[in-house]
């Protein structure tokens, strides 16, 4: 049974570490497989668009996200292409709350289209082309694996 995991909040130092890649052996292990189910359950219960492993206290390069109705698991992601075109839109994060415990929102400029290579839950190589909201979520979650939060990148106009 998958379980709900506590989410770490900014300024927890775990959120600021560079996370390490997973080996194929680790990906296929029962430990990581059950962690993936737990992260999925936590994201869905907390109504997030995505959740990265450091947010639940694990500094590993693993994230889950929602693409419409579908839940995607992305391991060891590498953004291999970024469009010149960028777009500003509002983001929030389950780890960035105000003093009352509410999610705060802010505008961030992101690449409009990206290409991302990653490993799936079986350790198989996959590649995705994404644009707009999906491209934004992948960039936001990949930032988490590098210790970066959206509040580091707030857009203040030109
Ligand atoms: Zn976030």
| CA distances from residue 41 to 15, 45, 50, 55, 75 in whole angstroms, order as listed | 20, 6, 11, 14, 17
Report the pLDDT value the prediction gives residue 56, as an integer from 0 to 100: 98
CA distance 109 to 87: 5
Alpha carbon of 52 to ligand 1 centroid (Å) = 7
List the CATH number of the domain containing 42: 3.90.45.10
pLDDT mean across residues, the chain: 97
| Residue pair 5/46 in contact by the 8 Å Cβ criterion | no
Instruction: Express each pLDDT in 83-111 by its tens digit.
Output: 999 999 999 999 999 999 999 999 999 99
**Active site (annotated) includes residue 131:** no
Is 83 part of a structural domain of the chain? Answer: yes
The domain in which residue 25 lies consists of 13-153
Above 80 in pLDDT, residue 158?
Answer: no
Is 30 part of a structural domain of the chain? Answer: yes
Structural domain count, the chain: 1
Alpha carbon of 92 to ligand 1 centroid (Å) = 7
Is 19 part of a structural domain of the chain? Answer: yes
Is 5 part of a structural domain of the chain? Answer: no
Active-site hit among 40, 58, 91, 141 = 141
Instruction: Express each pLDDT in 38-85 by its tens digit.
Output: 999 999 999 999 999 999 999 999 999 999 999 999 999 999 999 999
The position carrying tokens 């289209």 is 113
């Amino acid at each position: 049974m998958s379980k709900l995991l506590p989410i770490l909040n900014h300024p927890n130092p775990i959120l600021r570490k560079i996370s390490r890649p997973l080996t194929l052996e680790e990906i296929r292990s029962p430990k990581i497989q059950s962690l993936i189910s737990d992260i999925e359950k936590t994201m869905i219960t907390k109504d997030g668009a995505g959740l990265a492993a450091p947010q639940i206290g694990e500094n590993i390069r693993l994230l889950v996200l929602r693409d419409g109705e579908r839940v995607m698991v992305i391991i060891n992601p590498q953004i291999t292409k970024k469009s010149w075109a960028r777009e500003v839109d509002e983001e929030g994060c389950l780890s960035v709350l105000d003093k009352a415990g509410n999610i705060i929102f802010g505008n961030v400029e992101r690449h409009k289209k990206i290409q991302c290579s990653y490993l799936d839950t079986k350790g198989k190589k996959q590649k995705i082309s994404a644009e707009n909201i999906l491209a934004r979520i992948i960039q936001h979650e990949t930032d988490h694996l590098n210790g970066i939060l959206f509040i580091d990148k707030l857009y203040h106009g030109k």
